[in-house]
Amino acid sequence: MFDTNYKVLKYVDMRAIWKGHIRFSLVTIPIRMYSAIESGSSISFRQLHKEDNGRIGYQKVCKVCNEAVSTADIVKGYEHESDQYVIVESEDLQKIKLKSTKVIDIEAFVDAEEVNPALFDTPYFAGPDGEVASKAYALLCETLKNSNKLGIGKVVLRDRESVVLIAPQGPGLMMYKLRYPKELRQISQVPNIEPVEADDAQLKLAQTLVDSMAKPFSELELEDKYRAAVMEIIEAKIEGKEIVTTPDEEAPVVDIMTALQESIDLAKTQKKPLKKAIGKKDADSKEDKKTA
């Protein structure tokens, strides 16, 4: 489930966002947690007034009296019946705030295949907190790799208890904040998913196509093309250039067998042929033929 092949990235100013311990049984490992997401790569837009480019502000309006309401006059309400609310004050929520213990308590180690990828939420890097912790940290990392196990535990972050998963990644550990299983819908609820008996000939062609397109994940060049396209538009507008678009092409409808066979033929033509190794003797004889 977790590929240990990774590309080394150099991070400028990697700052810890949390400091604590991983604890399982009597073993305690001091760690620091770092964000694994590069937030600066996203593009954000401001909403502006069309007439004068003034930035847009928002007012919160009561739908009963139609009056603007200040933050001080807003309370939290839980709708237990239609248009019937129970008011929950901030003092009520303060009573259930959980005290952060700065400890990730591992409750169990589970097989990697058991964890539904849809449960994964926010990724973090977990690193050792100092040289003293490095040995125990490396031991846990190597043990998880060898056993194909993942650590499942709980930690209090921002006054709330979160379920987290500890997984080996390259030379270190990843920590994922997990969604609770009850939050997920069932894939069986998706319309039109029914067991269909595939034709043997179609299966064989499909398998051939998949095999012909197989390559290691680390070799894929994945990039945000939409972001690059948006930046091109922005730069063109700054420079006053005309924006040129290309029309979408409609793909012709063909039957599955024809599509599979044509896809296989295309995949074969896109693969680079292997060059035959030439020894020194062969190379010298070819050079003699050229000069003859």
Q: Show the domains of the chain with their CATH numbers.
A: 18-38+97-182 (2.40.290.10), 203-270 (no CATH)
Identify which has the larger pLDDT, 149 or 243: 149
Average pLDDT of the residues in 176-194:
89
Give the integer Cα–Cα distance in Å for 133 and 105.
Answer: 17
Confidence category of residue 168, pLDDT binned at 50, 70, 90: very high
Residues paired with 178 in a beta bridge: 120, 163
Q: What is the pTM of this model?
A: 0.62
What is the pLDDT, as a whole number, of residue 277?
Answer: 47
Give the integer Cα–Cα distance in Å for 153 and 23.
Answer: 9
Residue type, 258: T
Average pLDDT of the residues in 228-238:
80
Query: Using an 8 Å Cβ cutoff, are 150 and 92 in contact?
Result: no
